[in-house]
Amino acid sequence: MNLEANIYKKLLKQATKAYKKGEIPVAALVMKDNKILSISYNKKEKTQDITSHAEILAIKKAAKKLKRWNLSDCILYVTLKPCSMCNEIINQSRISKVYYLLDKPEFKKEYYKTKFEVSDFSDYSVTYQQLLSNFFQNKR
């Protein structure tokens, strides 16, 4: 299994954990030099904190581990295209690149120097899309 496939496998595991805990199943992972610095999933319900998105939690953990806020030498992997709040945090942290499995129905924009690209892992995208769909169907 190649590195990206392993990353998405880990993200789906985290998203599934979030799903089981009643959280929107989004997971994020920060890497530096092909090593995982941090991984997290949404915890907004658990913490009752509106900023407890997976991306923000993973970025905070990575910054703490590196003892610096500038993560320009890091890459973020996330299951769902980041929201505008997370985009701003990603930009402020200077993360160089973001990969995500599933796009959201909104206009794509380029933000500063961060490049947002859809990953080419369709098997994982389909699995994640089903997980996300199941979550929202069960909430109705």
Which helix (H) or strand (E) segment holds residue 134: the answer is helix 122-139
CA distance 114 to 35: 20
Q: What is the DSSP letter of 78?
A: E
CB atoms within 10 A of CB 55: 30
For this structure, is 88 an active site residue?
no
- Out of 4, 23, 45, 55, pick the active-site residue: 55
Q: Catalytic residues, which ones?
A: 55
